[in-house]
Amino acid sequence: MKVALYARVSSEKQDVDLSILAQLKYLREYAARNGHEVTKEYIDEAESGRTTARPAFREMISTARRSQKPFDLILVWKYSRFARSREDSIVFKTMLRKNGIRVVSISEPAEDTPTGKLLEAMIESLDEFYSANLGEEVTRGMRESAFRGFYLSAQPPFGYRKVKVNDGGKERPKLDIEPNQARIVTRIFNGMLEGNGLIGIAKQLNSEGIGGPRGKGWMKTTIHKILTSEVYTGTLVWGRSSLRDLPIIRVDNAWPAIIDKNIFNQAQTLLKDRAPICLHPKRVASRYLLSGLARCGHCGKALGLGC
């Protein structure tokens, strides 16, 4: 038979399985042992099995749907390499079967019989449960670390450096002040309180050749991000982008503060006061048909609006 090999490793740290090289090794050996001809190898590296938006996976499925099928089998190390979602697995396997193509796991063999299909479905359901449950456990562990004031992001914010602290025999990350960068952060806040605008502060720092976050130049958005980040008051805020709608975690005095909270609050008030007042055209009462929709050819602003 003609076969395609599909190997995947996940972008998720908790996903533990064979490396790409190891998967391909066993897949090639299986194909050779069974007299199969390998037509192509598809590889997705650092791609989650919870989504089908994987480049090599998409290419493989598209190729498999051609009128003249290019292969008879798709070999995978485990069914979880093909998909982590039972729903996705059913949809794409059904699509492939219509063109006479089967997906075969070389480490979880199942015959092409009703009993074999039931066994395959049970394996995939268990894989999906394992993945979802492991994700819950990882999230729970990260929230516990956040509650205790440990810094979970990969890169420290400008003005700080990551340090390791002993925690019951394990080393965990905290933040400590990076003196040179901290002086720049303080200068940015002072500049704001002195009446300087975001663009003006950025221009001044760039003119002096002062490097910004990750060695890049200063921009208005960079300055705004620093001025609005509570991290500089020593406050940990974690979980804003939670997919499970879990409450946001806030921990005061999680690390040394660079900016006093009163100064931070004053900066927020100034930023709010200086923000342009923009109204959606539909909410602006006007007797002119295109008010708020037509734009000035000179400045580009919407006509009839105060922004």
Give me the helix-helix angle, 220-227 and 179-193, nearest 10°. Answer: 90
Whole-number mean pLDDT of the chain?
81
pLDDT at 239 over 60: yes
Q: Which fold has domain 2-135?
A: Rossmann fold (3.40.50)
pLDDT at 202 over 80: yes
pLDDT at res. 41: 95
Beta bridge partners of 105: 76
Q: Look at residue 238 and give its three-state secondary structure.
A: strand
Is the pTM of the predicted complex or chain greater than 0.85?
no
Condensed to tens digits (0 to 9), the pLDDT of residues 65-107 reads 898 899 999 999 988 888 877 677 778 888 888 888 988 989 8
Task: Write the DSSP symbol of residue 68.
Answer: S
pLDDT at res. 12: 58
pLDDT at res. 135: 57
CATH 3.90.1750.20 fits 180-274, yes or no: yes
Amino acid at 58: R
Q: Where are the domains of the chain?
A: 2-135, 180-274, 278-307
Q: Look at residue 162 and give its three-state secondary structure.
A: strand
pLDDT at res. 227: 95
Condensed to tens digits (0 to 9), the pLDDT of residues 260-275 reads 999 999 999 999 887 7
pLDDT at res. 306: 44
One fold for both 2-135 and 180-274?
Answer: no
CB contact at 8 A, 133 and 238: no
